[in-house]
Amino acid sequence: MLYACVYATILLGFFGILLKENLVMKIIAMDVMSTGVIALFVLVAAKGGVYTPILAPRTAGNYADPVPQAVILTAIVIGFSIQALMLVAVMKLARDNPTLETRAIEQEYRP
């Protein structure tokens, strides 16, 4: 059931990117899709019966791998910076155009 919710979040963001006309809504849909992908990675990497190497007493056993955690944190930071960059680009575009609808911007564009 949890996998279905995560996949639904990813698909909702993907279809939002494809179907929405407003650029801000496309950015929000991309953020929703990114959140779903990160949740999927966390869901796949989660295992029961493993110990945190720093907090567990010094006993032999299965320890959690810290690499997936570092990759997910890096993905969150990169996603945040890309979102901020896209919002700045939309703000600059909004200064020149009265609308943020993609079709209207494409019709007004003159190379």
Q: What is the pLDDT of residues 40-87, one digit of tens each?
A: 988 888 777 777 777 656 666 677 777 888 889 999 999 999 999 999
- C-alpha–C-alpha distance, residues 14 and 5, integer Å: 14
Burial of 29 (0-12, 13-18, 19+ CB in 10 A): buried
Domain holding 16, by residue range, is 2-108
Alpha carbon separation from 52 to 27, 56, 88 (Å, rounded)? 36, 6, 40
Tell me the pLDDT tens digit for each residue of 6-45: 999 999 999 999 999 999 999 999 999 999 999 998 888 8
CATH number of the CATH domain containing 40: 1.10.287.3510
Whether the Cβ atoms of residue 6 and residue 43 lie closer than 8 Å to each other = yes
> How many structural domains is the chain composed of?
1
Structure token digits, residue 4? 């279905």
